[in-house]
A = this chain, B = another copy of it.
């Protein structure tokens, strides 16, 4: 390769403070080569997720990050060089490349992304939004953990985000009343006017709890929680008997010191309201993935599900894109087009 390998290093871990540009550093290395059983990948679109920040806090479903390393993250990538038989140059994969132009990865666990889900002219980025972790997380969390029935009231937090924006639309497809929680009036209008949510509530309003109650006068059947914290607590108190909470993330708690306390009402309200709370990670549903992708592709094709992507240009802007995501800048699935 003539060019080098630009890398964004996680220079040092935040220590209970908010993530800022000072935690990252741009570096340049030479382009690596694939060894036996490995592939050389060129990253095309880097996925940005609240999970990137959660990994800095300690072990989650993956090991904690350490300072000084290339920042970890998934990306849509193109195979440049392959030493495994099931992948060839030009294939597209989703891989844990980290934030860099090129990465070498073991080939065994990578799979060529099936073009089958993409309709004629459908952008490749859909493989990382609606047909990727975001879409599948929304699908399985809502349908398997939340189990909404037509006519029920579904509330989703971080509703304008990559997962929340899909959760709300699937809940509408399933015949539910859908209330999205997001920050600011403009996001709320976007949810109702563009995505068809029945209502939106601004969690930044001093009147948040009252506004929420007004939108769910009979209570909440299903809550898809992306945030934890004060929003979680407010919805918990608004749950109906036999309600279900799908616990997907704790966005409010990733970017700063861990909270000293949890929400009130735990476990008392779980008992008196006979609630079920279930945590999940999308990989837990791998065996059901094909059926889910078929549903999602059908809804996209019919126009019932609008794919929302928020694409930032340039590898060098990846730190700012993540910091912005943690501050709620994005609409739908945020990613960085590497070059």
| Interface pair B61/A228, CB less than 8 Å apart | no
| In the complex, chain B residues whose CB is within 8 Å of the CB of A228 | 266-268
| In the complex, chain B residues whose CB is within 8 Å of the CB of A253 | 268
Return the chain B residue nearest A280 by Cβ. B274
Return the chain B residue nearest A270 by Cβ. B279
A260-275: which residues lie under 8 A (CB-CB) from chain B? 260-275
Per the CB 8 Å criterion, the residue count for chain A at the interface is: 38
- Output the least CB separation between A138 and chain B (Å): 15
Residue A247 CB within 8 A of the other chain: yes
Contact with B along A280-293 (1 / 0, CB 8 A): 11001000000000
Supposing A228-B266, A262-B262, A263-B266 touch, asked if A271 and B276 sit within 8 A by C-beta, the answer is: no
Q: Interface on chain A toward B: helix, strand, loop, or mixed SS?
A: loop
A59-88: which residues lie under 8 A (CB-CB) from chain B? 59-61
Option from B264, B267, B281 in Cβ contact (under 8 Å) with A277: B267
Residue A232 CB within 8 A of the other chain: yes
Option from B263, B271, B276 in Cβ contact (under 8 Å) with A262: B263
A12-37: which residues lie under 8 A (CB-CB) from chain B? none
Residue A305 CB within 8 A of the other chain: no
| In the complex, chain B residues whose CB is within 8 Å of the CB of A232 | 266-267
Contact with B along A249-264 (1 / 0, CB 8 A): 1100100001111111
| Interface pair A264/B259, CB less than 8 Å apart | yes
Question: What is the bound-complex CA distance between A267 and B224, given in angstroms?
Answer: 12
Could you list 8 examples of A-B contacts with CB < 8 Å? A247-B271, A249-B271, A267-B279, A270-B277, A271-B279, A272-B279, A272-B281, A274-B278
